[in-house]
Amino acid sequence: MTKKPLIISTDPGIDDIAAMTISLFADELDVRMIVPTWGNVALEYTLQNALDLEKFLHTKVPVVVGANQPLVAPKISAASVHGKTGIAGYEFEKADRSLIKPGLAATLMAEEIKNSPEKVTLLGIGPLTDFALLFKQYPEVKDNVEQIVIMGGNIGRGNHSPLAEYNIAGDPEAAQVVFHSSLPIKVAPLEIGNKAHLLPDQMTKVKECGEVGDMLYALFSHIHEPDGDPHIKIYDPTAVGILLHPEMFTMKKANVEIELRGQFTYGASVINFMDQEHANAEIATDVDLEKFAKWFIDSIEKADQGRE
């Protein structure tokens, strides 16, 4: 089986930790590079969290330092949800910086993509700043990118503002650049993360998946959703699910534009299912919850076995 080469842009973040863990041990994926960016919390924390996770998992994927702020927008934070360092609830052993590959993220990503014999998939589970910089500075890389899979955007109401989802609201201008890249894009919007929750008995099964399960159980138990919803929402892993098992999802084509000027709607994802002529993305509109929960738990178990 040929593995899909993958570059992950991430802002860990509790659910990012789960998405990276699954990706690093998925048989179908060859994670070439992890690019922590500012997002849920500041870059100094997201970078350290990515390094700490790799130390915990005993993996050696190069880590590239991503953007420390949005292109234009004022920086926002989700520390109230994820804790000050982004990973409230679990103390990782602190990693050194030996996995960091020095250089600018856009340049290093461009080199990786251009030198890859197979087309590379981009997974964006934080603000899309680094992918926007990549496409602006090295537009030629698009020829060797297979697709972009994003967790972000919202069909209806938002979770950062009434009409904007956090990852897109973090850098709306970057998101607009990515959606206008003319590349195949698949999106796990906020609604899919809201639906793809785990119930307490399923969380208990996660906890039973060895040390990796313990770690994720501790992290997910400390998420504080702004609306106080007790369900454990699994946002970022839904994007990995779309990449590996699209059959678990109902996908619909749509034209996606990002609102950049509205006083109350800045950062909103305008997902227009009626405009098929200008469709630039496929949006997940439903998920088979039973299959997703089983896949998620199986993936954590696999990661735990692979780590040893």
Helix or strand holding residue 152 (H, E): none
Expressed in angstroms, the distance from the first to the final Cα of the chain is 23
Q: Domain segments of the chain: what residues?
A: 4-307
Give helix then strand counts, H and E, for the chain.
Answer: 12, 10
Count of beta carbons in the 10 Å neighbourhood of residue 91: 10
- Residue 260 CA from chain centroid, whole number: 22
Q: What's the pLDDT at 270?
A: 97
136, amino acid identity: K
Name which residue leads in pLDDT, 234 or 28.
Answer: 28
Averaged pLDDT, 31-41: 95
Q: Which one, of 182, 190, 94, 99, lies nearest residue 143 by Cα?
A: 182
Joined together, the tokens standing for residue 14 give 């509790």
pLDDT at 132 over 90: yes
Mean confidence (pLDDT) of the chain: 94
Backbone angles phi, psi at 306, to 5 degrees: -70, -25
Helix, strand or coil for residue 19? helix
**Taking residues 216-243, what's their average pLDDT?**
81
Digit-coded pLDDT (tens) for 255-306? 999 999 999 999 999 999 999 999 999 999 999 999 999 999 999 999 999 9
Exposure string of 267-285, with b = 16+ CB inside 10 Å and e = fewer, is bbbebeeeeeeebbbbbbb
As assigned by CATH, the class of the 4-307 domain is: alpha beta
Report pLDDT for 232. Answer: 75
pLDDT band at 220 (very low <50, low <70, confident <90, very high): confident
Strand partners of residue 75: none
Residue 120: how many CA atoms within 13 Å on its side-chain side?
23
Residue 240, pLDDT > 90, answer yes
**Residue written as token pair 């927008």:** 73
Mean of pLDDT values over 162-170: 96
pLDDT at 230: 64
pLDDT of amino acid 224 = 61
**Which ranges constitute the DSSP H helices of 26-100?**
43-57, 79-82
Say whether pLDDT at 226 is over 70.
no
The pLDDT tens digits for 62-97 are 999 999 999 999 999 887 777 788 787 889 999 999
pLDDT, mean of residues 133-154: 98
30 sits in the region (left: phi over 0; alpha: psi -120 to 50; else beta) called: beta
Q: Is 60 exposed, middle or buried (0-12, 13-18, 19+ CB in 10 A)?
A: exposed
pTM of the model: 0.96
